[in-house]
């Protein structure tokens, strides 16, 4: 008789029962999904439910587990983007904004340094020539005084600016420590802003992750195409208000130093020359809402924070009668003439918008501008029909493969094959249960991984059964043969499975995309198949032995 303590039996059955319970929602995928969506929508709405939501909620009882395996983009359809954030952009705007401060810091030193002149320089570097090189030391000290101490852990004792002298020129740029900190901040901000923009559209379970140093991976199931997704998150939505220098129709006009030549958004062939340094930027916005102007055309209402409101108010008070430009992503949306002092810090952007455009612009402004531009390294769109085809083909292949394996096992091992098949079924339930609970994503290669583990899960049982056969041949009694068979096969099972897990871990660690999805299912499949082969099959056979007490067995 094979002795298995009662607590162990109970534990094994409990694990199997839990596995089946947690795998079950996947059998009723659309139903449970409807229930989950409705529950999320009701929670978001603060507990009030529409009749449809209540109906959807009722499709699946609350007391049952409702975790589902996430379907990957290749199964559900959707868009996948890999973006690289141009972190260098931020240095440029930070340093550019330093110029007025540097000028002001050097002004009291005019006696020592003479006149100061800004010189052309690459982005991210500010070069200021001083008339009197003898005063360089004072100039450096004065500019260095503008630097802020760093507050990061690694940057203790360092400041954010690196100020050096090159002949008669003061060169100001961000210090390396500050650059690293800025990069990190830029990525975090970009992640946050992308997340807000994607959430505003309200799709289900988008994946927005940082990858490596300066990359962001965005996967949104159910969206029409990568192009749509790019239009949504690729827009920098950088809003600035700049003084207008001139208006021209000459695309080749020379804007002059520190001015920009930008096209007008709604008047083809018209260009504005504006000052490069803005009066206020979109970062000072606290709110933006779609609205209509006095002529009933779509527009966007906005409100500044106190600092922005002050700057905007001061500027409008001093420049009544002058035009200023509202610039969005390198295009002049409109260039109204300042009629009066605007003290309240709110205003309206009018342009040639449609209602959709003004709504989208409001969303983008509200979510905030991306701190830097993004370039696209990889994009994939998978249509939902192709995804459905893949699910259908994958499930059909799995079912047929499983039936074939089941018959093959019964043909080879008879009653023992039947018991191994029960363990195999439990194994598949366990795989789905674990995938659901950890929220893993099932991809097409992942389905192949499950089919493969079915083939390999049988391996452990084959090892055991072959051992039992050998022991029977040597004349051992049924329960003794079975016991020794399990014991002796264990070392081979452990060895072979550990190597399989090893490769799965390496695949997960190094691989990306489809390789990872495959590694997860393979790794989980190997673990659960070890459990079912060693514990579940053993328990089933032990129970059968105790019940039947056969005199002899044929494996």
Partner 1 sequence: MRLRLVPEKTTIDFFRWQYVTFGASLVAVVLSLLAVAVFGLNFGIDFRGGTTIRTESTQAVDVGEYRTAMQTLGLGDVTISEVFDPTFGPDQHVAMIRIEAQDGAEAITPEVIGAIETALRAVDPAITFPSVESVGPKVSAELIWSALLAVAAGSAGIWIYVWLRFEWQFAVGTVAALVHDVLLTVGIFAIFQIKFDLTIVAALLTILGYSVNDTVVIFDRLRENLPKYKKMPLRDLMNLTTNETLSRTIMTALTTLIALTSLLVFGGDVLRGFVFAMMFGVVVGTYSTLYVAKNIVLMLGVDRGGPKQDSPAGTRFAEAEN
Closer residue to partner 1, CB minimum distance, 217 or 363: 217
Closer residue to partner 1, CB minimum distance, 199 or 487: 487
3-state secondary structure 73-122: HHHHCEEEEEEEECCHHHHHHHHHCCHHHHHHHHHHHHHHHCCEEEECCC
Of 225, 235, 289, 319, which one interacts with partner 1 (CB under 8 A)?
A: 225
Closer residue to partner 1, CB minimum distance, 116 or 534: 534
CA distance 375 to 84: 5
Span from 131-139, 227-235, 327-335, 432-440 in contact with partner 1 (CB under 8 A): 227-235
Span from 30-38, 55-63, 103-111, 485-493 in contact with partner 1 (CB under 8 A): 485-493
Q: At what angle do helices 444-473 and 384-437 cross, to 10 degrees?
A: 50
Beta carbons within 8 Å of 146's beta carbon, 6+ residues apart = 98, 101, 102, 105, 161
Q: Provide the 8-state DSSP code for 296.
A: S
Q: Mapping DSSP to helix (H, G, I), strand (E, B) and coil, where does residue 51 land? A: helix
Closer residue to partner 1, CB minimum distance, 164 or 512: 512
Closer residue to partner 1, CB minimum distance, 111 or 385: 385
**Which tokens hold the place of 517?**
């999805």
Q: What's the closest the beta carbon of residue 327 comes to partner 1, in angstroms?
A: 24
**Interface with partner 1, residue 550, by CB under 8 A:** no
- Pairing mode of beta strands 441-442, 70-71: parallel
Among 110, 379, 87, CA closest to 212 = 87
**Interface with partner 1, residue 454, by CB under 8 A:** yes
Closer residue to partner 1, CB minimum distance, 292 or 408: 408
Of 451, 527, 540, 542, which one interacts with partner 1 (CB under 8 A)?
A: 451
Span from 63-71, 137-145, 277-285, 484-492 in contact with partner 1 (CB under 8 A): 484-492
3-state secondary structure 481-545: HHHHHHHHHHHHHHHHHHHHHHHHHHHHHHCCCHHHHHHHHHHHHHHHHHHHHHHHHHHHHHHHH
Closer residue to partner 1, CB minimum distance, 272 or 531: 531
Q: What's the closest the beta carbon of residue 194 comes to partner 1, in angstroms?
A: 17
Q: What's the closest the beta carbon of residue 528 comes to partner 1, in angstroms?
A: 16
Q: At what angle do helices 88-96 and 176-201 cross, to 10 degrees?
A: 110
Closer residue to partner 1, CB minimum distance, 38 or 79: 79
Span from 327-335, 337-345, 349-357, 457-465 in contact with partner 1 (CB under 8 A): 457-465
Closer residue to partner 1, CB minimum distance, 143 or 454: 454
Among 445, 231, 427, 203, CA closest to 329 = 231
Q: C-alpha dihedral over 502, 507, 508, 514, to 10 degrees?
A: -140
Closer residue to partner 1, CB minimum distance, 165 or 462: 462
Q: What's the closest the beta carbon of residue 417 comes to partner 1, in angstroms?
A: 9
Helix (H) or strand (E) holding 300: strand 298-304
**Interface with partner 1, residue 458, by CB under 8 A:** yes
**Interface with partner 1, residue 227, by CB under 8 A:** yes
Span from 89-97, 243-251, 348-356, 392-400 in contact with partner 1 (CB under 8 A): 392-400
**Interface with partner 1, residue 400, by CB under 8 A:** yes
| Interface mask toward partner 1 for 52-91; x: CB under 8 A | ----------------------x-------x-x-------
CA distance 522 to 448: 9
Q: What's the closest the beta carbon of residue 531 comes to partner 1, in angstroms?
A: 17
**Interface with partner 1, residue 502, by CB under 8 A:** yes
**Interface with partner 1, residue 496, by CB under 8 A:** yes
**Interface with partner 1, residue 230, by CB under 8 A:** yes
Q: Which of residues 408-437 bind partner 1 (CB under 8 A)?
A: 408-409, 411-414
Closer residue to partner 1, CB minimum distance, 36 or 390: 390
Q: 515 to each of 106, 250, 367, 442, how far by Cα in Å?
A: 58, 53, 34, 12
Of 166, 199, 213, 389, which one interacts with partner 1 (CB under 8 A)?
A: 389
Q: How many CB atoms lie within 10 A of CB 338?
A: 17
Phi-psi region at 414: left, alpha or beta (left = phi > 0; alpha = psi -120 to 50): left
Q: How many CB atoms lie within 10 A of CB 4?
A: 15
Q: What's the closest the beta carbon of residue 72 comes to partner 1, in angstroms?
A: 12
Q: What's the closest the beta carbon of residue 518 comes to partner 1, in angstroms?
A: 4
Closer residue to partner 1, CB minimum distance, 314 or 495: 495
Among 16, 118, 57, CA closest to 431 = 16
CA distance 529 to 522: 10
Residue 298 phi/psi, 5-degree rounding, is -60, 140
Size of the site for partner 1 (CB under 8 A): 83
**Interface with partner 1, residue 401, by CB under 8 A:** yes
Q: Which of residues 31-50 bind partner 1 (CB under 8 A)?
A: none
Whether 57 and 42 have beta carbons less than 8 Å apart is answered as yes
Q: Which of residues 132-171 bind partner 1 (CB under 8 A)?
A: none
**Which tokens hold the place of 521?**
């299912």
Q: Which of residues 503-522 bind partner 1 (CB under 8 A)?
A: 503-504, 506-507, 509-515, 518-519, 522
Q: Which of residues 352-381 bind partner 1 (CB under 8 A)?
A: 375-381
CA distance 521 to 445: 9
């Amino acid at each position: 008789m094979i002795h298995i303590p009662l607590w162990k039996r109970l534990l094994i059955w409990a694990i199997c029962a839990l596995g089946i319970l947690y795998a079950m929602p996947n059998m009723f995928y659309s139903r449970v999904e409807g229930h989950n969506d409705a529950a999320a929508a009701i929670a978001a709405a603060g507990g009030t439910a529409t009749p449809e939501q209540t109906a959807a909620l009722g499709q699946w009882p609350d007391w049952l587990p409702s975790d589902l395996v996430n379907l990957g983009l290749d199964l559900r359809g959707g868009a996948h983007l890999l973006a690289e954030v141009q972190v260098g952009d931020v240095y440029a705007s930070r340093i550019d904004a330093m110029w007025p401060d540097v000028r002001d810091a050097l002004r009291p030193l005019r006696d020592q340094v003479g006149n100061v002149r800004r010189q052309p320089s690459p982005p991210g570097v500010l070069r200021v020539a001083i008339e009197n090189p003898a005063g360089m030391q004072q100039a450096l000290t004065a500019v260095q005084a503008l630097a802020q101490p760093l507050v990061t852990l690694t940057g203790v004792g360092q400041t954010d600016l690196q100020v050096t002298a090159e002949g008669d020129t003061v060169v100001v740029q961000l210090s390396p420590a500050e650059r690293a900190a800025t990069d990190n901040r830029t990525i975090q901000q970009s992640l946050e802003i992308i997340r807000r923009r994607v959430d505003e559209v309200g799709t289900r379970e988008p994946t927005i992750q940082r990858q490596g140093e300066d990359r962001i991976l965005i996967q949104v199931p159910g969206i029409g195409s990568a192009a749509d997704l790019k239009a949504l998150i690729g827009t920098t939505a950088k809003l600035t208000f700049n003084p207008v220098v001139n208006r021209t129709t000459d695309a080749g006009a020379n804007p002059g130093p520190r001015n920009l030549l930008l096209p007008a958004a709604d008047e083809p062939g018209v260009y504005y020359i504006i000052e490069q340094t803005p009066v206020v930027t979109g970062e000072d916005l606290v709110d933006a809402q779609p609205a209509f102007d006095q002529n009933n055309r779509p527009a966007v209402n906005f409100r500044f924070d106190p600092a922005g409101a002050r700057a905007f108010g001061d500027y409008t008070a001093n420049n009544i009668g002058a035009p200023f430009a509202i610039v969005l992503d390198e295009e002049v949306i409109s260039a109204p003439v300042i009629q009066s002092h605007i003290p309240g810090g709110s205003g309206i952007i009018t342009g040639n918008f449609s209602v959709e455009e003004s709504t989208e612009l409001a969303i983008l402004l509200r979510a905030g501008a991306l701190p830097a531009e993004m370039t696209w390294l990889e994009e994939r769109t998978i249509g939902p029909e192709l995804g459905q085809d893949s699910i259908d083909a994958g499930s059909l292949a799995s079912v047929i493969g499983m039936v074939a394996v089941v018959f093959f096992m019964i043909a080879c091992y008879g009653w023992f094959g039947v018991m191994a098949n029960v363990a195999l079924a439990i194994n598949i339930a366990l795989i789905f249960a674990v995938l659901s609970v950890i929220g893993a994503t099932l991809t097409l290669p992942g389905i192949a991984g499950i089919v493969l583990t079915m083939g390999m899960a049988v391996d452990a049982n084959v090892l055991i059964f072959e051992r039992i056969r050998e022991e029977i041949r040597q004349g051992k009694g049924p329960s003794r043969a079975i016991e020794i068979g399990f014991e002796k096969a264990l070392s081979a099972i452990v060895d072979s499975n550990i190597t399989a897990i090893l490769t799965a871990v390496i695949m997960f660690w190094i691989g990306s995309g489809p390789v990872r999805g495959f590694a997860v299912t393979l790794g989980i499949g190997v673990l659960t198949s070890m459990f079912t082969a060693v514990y579940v099959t053993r328990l089933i056979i032990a129970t059968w032995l105790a019940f039947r007490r056969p005199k002899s067995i044929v494996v």
